[in-house]
Amino acid sequence: MVLKTAFYIFIVQVLCFKTYETCKCEQSDIAFCYRSIDPHRDIPTECHAGLKCDCRSKNLTTFPTKLSQTPDRVIWLNLADNLLTNITREDLGTFTGLRFLDLTQNPIQFIGSKTFLNSSGLIDLRIQTDSLKYNSLRGLRSLRELRINGNGILPELPTKVMSHLKDLIHLVISNTAVKKLPENFMNGYKQLLILDMRDNKIDSVDAGAFNNTPNIRELHLSHNHIKTVHHTIIKHASKLKALDLSHNDLTSFDNDFLANIPELYLLDLSHNKLVNITLNIPILTLDLSSNAITTTDDMHFSNSCWIQNLNVANNSIIKLTRFYQIDKDLIPSQYTTKLQKVDFSYNGIQTIDSDVFERFYELKKLNLETNLLSNIDHLILSRNVFRLYLADNKFTRFPNIIDKLKFISWLDLSNNNIKDIPLKKLVDLISLRYLNLKNNLLSHLPVDFLSGTKLYDSFDLSDNPLVCTCALRNILTLSTTENAIILGNCTENETITIDLKVFKDIANYNNITTAKSTAKPDPIDTTSTMTETLPDETTTKQKMTTISSPTKGKLPATRKTTTSESLRKEFTTSIVFNVILAVVVLLLIFLVVVLYVKYKKVYSLNAYHTKRDTVQMENTHDKIAYSTEEN
């Protein structure tokens, strides 16, 4: 009864508790540091010592004026995720030393015209509002980074509000209702290096929109509704290095668009509606994933387009043909492409021309997973390829092309229809470190399969219908020399998994069925089961291993083997439950103690008052008796 009462009292106290300012402030010699994001400009890092106050998610409706330290010493103040609606000069008047202020995730409806007059030292400001007045940002002479979130409502660009902020280096305007970027809307921002206008409703960009921003390095226009881009919108942005137009509605891309930006290293055109592309300038990374490209004949890259990383994943390409206009008469010493990483995954490719990758002498990673390939032996690949992804295809055997890739270290053939493991191929791949054969049709393993596995960092044979044979037992015996964990016997319909401690990332679950044979039982007695202790904390990151070996004589009844994943889940659930239970018990004990002390005090106080009243009554009676005797 006492515990039940204590629990009810605790619930009432929690529900009726009033939240007060609980901002966390700490003194720091580097409360706020700022450095120019331009690596080509030698600007030293500017650091400020003072108080760093975190007031996020405190349900504040007003500025935290009751900070334990003086507000003028606060350098860094985060008020994100509160209930602030109005920001006035009185709110910020005492915070004269601010360098960083975050007001995002607040329902701000009004920012006064003189709010920041006393915040001339502010360098980084982040606000979220759907209403900005002409002088809302007046006084921010030192501002270098400004982030404005328009709550999806801000109807127009706050160009007039920012007209005096000519020293901005990083500008973010997101989540607004802006639909158009007019000509010269960024006029005068000659120091601007990064302009981020992602996640708006922009559907058109006028010619010359980004004129007079000669130093801009990054332009982000993703997650809008842009259908076309005029080739003159960045005519004077010759120093542009990264252009992000992903997640728009582009159906074509003007090659002349890039004519005046020779230093571009990243072009992201993913998640559009492009059906073709033509490029003739060097680009480090080109992302064309998730478009509407149906054939590589519509991809035209000239000899001068030295792409290093190409991503054409998730399109609708059925046949892969040459997409580089390379003169075959040029010998390798005269010309080679710079392509190092190629991704054609998630397309539906059925065939690949043999010369598609012929001149890619520096190719290192090739991703062809999730297609309809069954044979790639005819491909001409560079010997330098060290990662090859062929998962989720239609392969029924190991590709012979693997023999030519002497430096391959990562091979993924999972989710195919491979039935046999060519041991000689694996032995010859001396650089192989990762091998994934999960979910194939492997039923038998070569006797010497694990003879070279000490060279691997990881291999996966899970989800294969492996048959429990003497050869498999020999493999398991060999695996014990590599400190494998062995639990149980090999019985009919029993699940086992193979994992060696030297491996780092092994999946589990191999379905082993007993080979039904009339052969005599193996003379070696394997009825005894060896069980080693589980690995310590440093090795628990590896999957738990269950290796079974054939039993002598009659097979025991079918039993269910607990997998490492289920054990881990049960262990985690048990820990969480025990922790919660312990916390509840401790809480109840604490409440009982508090109530006991409280009631003890009340009882002592009542006893004191009772005793005092008794003494007073006795004194009164004595006085009455004394008076009676005198009379």
What's the per-residue H, E or C state across 444-498?
CCCCCHHHHHHHCCEEECCCCCCEECHHHHHHHHHHHCCCCCCCCCECCCCEECC
Instruction: Output the CA torsion sign for 173, 177, 183, 187.
Output: negative
Per-residue pLDDT at 517: 40
For residue 337, give every residue at least 6 positions away whose Cβ sits within 8 Å of its Cβ, in sequence order, or none.
306, 307, 324, 326, 359, 360, 361, 362
CB 107 within 8 A of CB 85: yes
- Give residue 531's pLDDT: 33
How many whole angstroms separate alpha carbon 259 and alpha carbon 279? 10
| Main-chain phi, psi angles of 101, to 5 degrees | -145, 125
Per-residue pLDDT, 157:
83
- In 3-state terms, what secondary structure has residue 503? coil
Q: What is the mean pLDDT of residues 187-213?
A: 89
Confidence check: pLDDT of 126 > 90:
yes
Q: How far is CA 169 from CA 118, 196, 213, 560, 628, in A?
A: 22, 11, 11, 63, 100
Tell me which of 48 and 194 has the higher pLDDT: 194
Please count the other Cβ atoms lying within 10 Å of the Cβ belonging to residue 18. 4
Please report, for residues 322, 388, 389, 394, 521, the alpha-carbon distance to residue 381 in angstroms, rounded to integers and kept in the order given: 13, 11, 14, 20, 49
The 3-state DSSP class for residue 406 equals coil
Higher-confidence residue of 519 and 376: namely: 376
Least confident of 24-38, 97-111, 311-325: 24-38
| Portion of the chain with pLDDT greater than 70, in percent | 69
pLDDT at 43: 55
Three-state secondary structure of 72-134? HHEEEEECCCCCCCEECHHHHCCCCCCCEEEEEEEEECEECCCCCCCCCCCCEEEEEECCCCC
Could you give the CA distance from residue 54 to residue 79 in angstroms, rounded to a whole number?
7
pLDDT higher than 90, residue 257: no
First to last CA, the chain: 59
Least confident of 92-106, 109-123, 254-268, 492-506: 492-506
Q: Give me 367's structure tokens.
A: 């991703």
Q: Is the pLDDT of residue 620 over 90?
A: no
Amino acid identity, residue 428?
Answer: D
pTM for this predicted structure: 0.73
Average pLDDT over residues 285-304: 90
Higher pLDDT, 163 or 610: 163
* Tokens matching residue 478: 């060999």
Residue 81 has pLDDT above 90, yes or no: yes
| Residue 564 tokens, joined | 């490492």
pLDDT for residue 570 = 60
C-alpha dihedral sign at 575, 578, 581, 585: negative
Q: Mean pLDDT score of the chain, rounded to an integer?
A: 76
Q: Which helix (H) or strand (E) holds 24?
A: strand 24-34
Binning pLDDT at 50, 70 and 90, where does residue 583 land?
confident
Confidence at 44, pLDDT banded by 50, 70, 90 = low
For residue 432, which amino acid is it? Answer: L
**pLDDT tens sequence across 52-65:** 999 999 999 988 87
The pair phi, psi for residue 434, each rounded to 5°, is -130, 125
628, pLDDT greater than 70: no
pLDDT over 90 (residue 208)? no
Spatial separation of the C-alpha atoms in residues 212 and 320, rounded to whole Å: 43
In this predicted structure, what is the pLDDT of residue 540? Answer: 33
Indicate if the pLDDT at residue 171 is higher than 90. Answer: yes
Q: What confidence score (pLDDT) does residue 242 get?
A: 94
What are the pLDDT digits (tens) for 130-157?
Answer: 888 888 888 898 999 999 998 888 888 8
| Spacing of C-alpha 120 from chain mean position | 36
Residue 110 predicted with pLDDT over 60: yes
Taking 70 as the threshold, does the pLDDT of residue 486 lie above it?
Answer: no
What's the CA gap between 171 and 139, in Å, rounded?
17
For 386-410, the pLDDT digits (tens) are: 999 999 999 999 999 998 898 999 9
Q: Is 453 within 8 Å of 459 (Cβ atoms)? A: yes
Lookup: tokens for 523:
């003379």
- Predicted confidence band of residue 459 (pLDDT cuts 50, 70, 90): confident
Higher pLDDT among residues 219 and 556, named by residue: 219
Q: Rounded distance, CA 159 to CA 179, Å?
A: 14
**Which of the four pLDDT bands, split at 50, 70 and 90, describes residue 364?**
very high
Q: For position 21, what pLDDT does the model report?
A: 52
- Percent of the chain that is helix, strand, coil (3-state, to 5): 20, 20, 60
CA dihedral angle for residue 620, residue 621, residue 624, residue 630, rounded to 10 degrees: -120
**What average pLDDT does this structure show over 187-199?**
91
Kindly state the DSSP code that residue 538 receives in the 8-state scheme. Answer: G
Q: Give residue 326's pLDDT.
A: 60
pLDDT of residue 552: 32
Q: Is the pLDDT of residue 566 over 70?
A: no
Does residue 95 surpass a pLDDT of 80? yes
- According to the model, what pLDDT value does residue 485 have? 37
Q: Which range, 23-32, 583-592, 612-621, is most confident? A: 583-592
**Using CA atoms, how far apart are residues 284 and 548, in angstroms rounded to an integer?**
51
CB atoms within 10 A of CB 539: 11
Residues forming beta bridges with residue 128, ordered by sequence position: 149
